[in-house]
Amino acid sequence: MRVTERIEGLRLPRTERRQQILAAAAQAFSETGFHGTSLADVATRVGVSQPGLLHHYPNKQALILAVLGERDDEDSRYLESTFRESDPSVVDWLTALCRRNAHRPELVQLYTVTAAESLDPAHPAHEFFQTRYQRIRTVLAQRIELDQQKGRLDPALDPGGLAAELVALMDGLQLQWLMRPPVDMCALLEQSLQRLVPAGSTTSGNEVREDA
């Protein structure tokens, strides 16, 4: 019986090994953050030596930036695809996003922990998160404005302010959802979102499908 074992020194194709490394690093960084994670820690998870790891990513900073960048790309692709197939309201869209996140605790924790750490200007992901939050707020504010024009959201609300507020709410709920006992992140978000919908308006009929 042949078994695929983790053999020391096994030579793997470049891209495959790099994928392994990104996965292991995402795990490690999500648990202990940038400072709390050692390269040896990541290397062990992959089943490779520490210099073997550094062959693929020249240093720790490059590694975490690669992890964050890759997850970001993945998310961007997802968001783009949901936009293309239908025209979800902000409520439906954020609801879908939350449900998706509810299946990815490791990813959520990676962002929660790293975003907080990155407040330090010397943190390798400092600029990454500053840019990321600006971008997210801008995109969300635009979607809010569109919804207001379509009567799906109260037009009295300030789009920019509401965007920041909704991002804040999701971030904060994620933190409490990751704790023991966990709060019901998605239920709470949806309740909050419902309060923003004008009395007459019902859901858009364009709910975003879940494709976990």
Q: Which residues contact 137 (CB under 8 A, 6 or more apart)?
A: 160, 163, 164, 167
Q: Please check whether residue 82 is in contact with residue 96, taking contact to mean a CB–CB distance below 8 angstroms.
A: yes
Which of 50, 61, 149, 191 binds its own copies (CB under 8 A)? It is 191
User: How far apart are alpha carbons 14 and 36 in whole angstroms?
Assistant: 27
Which of 119, 149, 150, 198 binds its own copies (CB under 8 A)? It is 119
User: How far apart are alpha carbons 203 and 193 in whole angstroms?
Assistant: 11
Residue 181 gets which letter from DSSP? Answer: S
In 3D, which of 55, 25, 54 has the Cα closest to residue 41? Answer: 25
- Separation of CA 81 from chain center: 16
Site string (7-26) toward DNA, x via CB under 7 A: -xxxxxxx--x---------
Total binding residues toward DNA, as defined by CB under 7 A: 26
Burial 181-206 (b: 16+ CB within 10 A, else e): eeeebbebbeebbeebbeeeeeebee
Is residue 19 close enough to count as binding its own copies by CB under 8 A?
Answer: no
Is residue 37 close enough to count as binding DNA by CB under 7 A?
Answer: yes
Site string (69-98) toward its own copies, x via CB under 8 A: ------------------------------
Is residue 168 close enough to count as binding its own copies by CB under 8 A?
Answer: yes
Q: How far is the CB of 116 from its own copies (least distance, A)?
A: 4
Is residue 199 close enough to count as binding its own copies by CB under 8 A?
Answer: no
Q: How far is the CB of 21 from its own copies (least distance, A)?
A: 21
- Residue whose CB is less far from its own copies, 48 or 141: 141
Q: Please check whether residue 204 is in contact with residue 92, taking contact to mean a CB–CB distance below 8 angstroms.
A: yes
Point out which residues bind DNA (CB under 7 A): 8-14, 17, 37-41, 47-52, 54-56, 58-61
| Residues near its own copies (CB under 8 A) | 31-36, 109, 112-113, 115-117, 119-120, 122, 129-130, 133-134, 158, 161, 164-165, 167-173, 175-176, 178-181, 183, 187-188, 191-192, 195
